[in-house]
Amino acid sequence: MVLTVFSAYFLFSGKQPSIRPGIRNGCVAGTLSGLLGGALSVPGPPLVFYYLGVFGDDKTGYLTTICASFLFQNVFQLGLQLEKQEMGVEMLYLFGCSCTFCAAGYFLGQKLFQKTDPAVIRRILYAVMLLMGIRNLLTGYVFN
């Protein structure tokens, strides 16, 4: 719920997070990301806020760092699932199929990303996080 409020604030105020890069803030963002990723499979919002605050208008630095963070988290999570033997052959097949389309979407997204102003990218990120937060609140509290 807190991340939903932050998303709405930054989306409608036009401001951006002013988070200082550093070990403490990086540890806080990483810990929150790990908790949300482990509990809800939604590790992104704390890292998005942190990296947007750290990188400002450097959209290439932001994208590279967020991709590296997600790569680490996804490989770690996959290892945990494989260790628990919670992924069967069918799941691996579906994973492989989805990776093909993810790659295609990634290349198209890169072309859009390169042509888009950093302020527009921030607004899109905040809007998506706000919509995801509202959806999670509704499905978790209202429709559950």
Sequence length of the chain is 144
Q: What is the pTM of this model?
A: 0.69
pLDDT at 92: 78
Query: Considering the chain, what is the average pLDDT of its residues?
Result: 84
Top pLDDT among 131 and 11 is at 131
Residue in this structure with the two tokens 């888009």, named with its chain if needed: 116
Q: Using 50, 70 and 90 to split pLDDT, how confident is the model at 23?
A: very high
Q: Cα–Cα distance between 63 and 51 in angstroms, integer?
A: 9
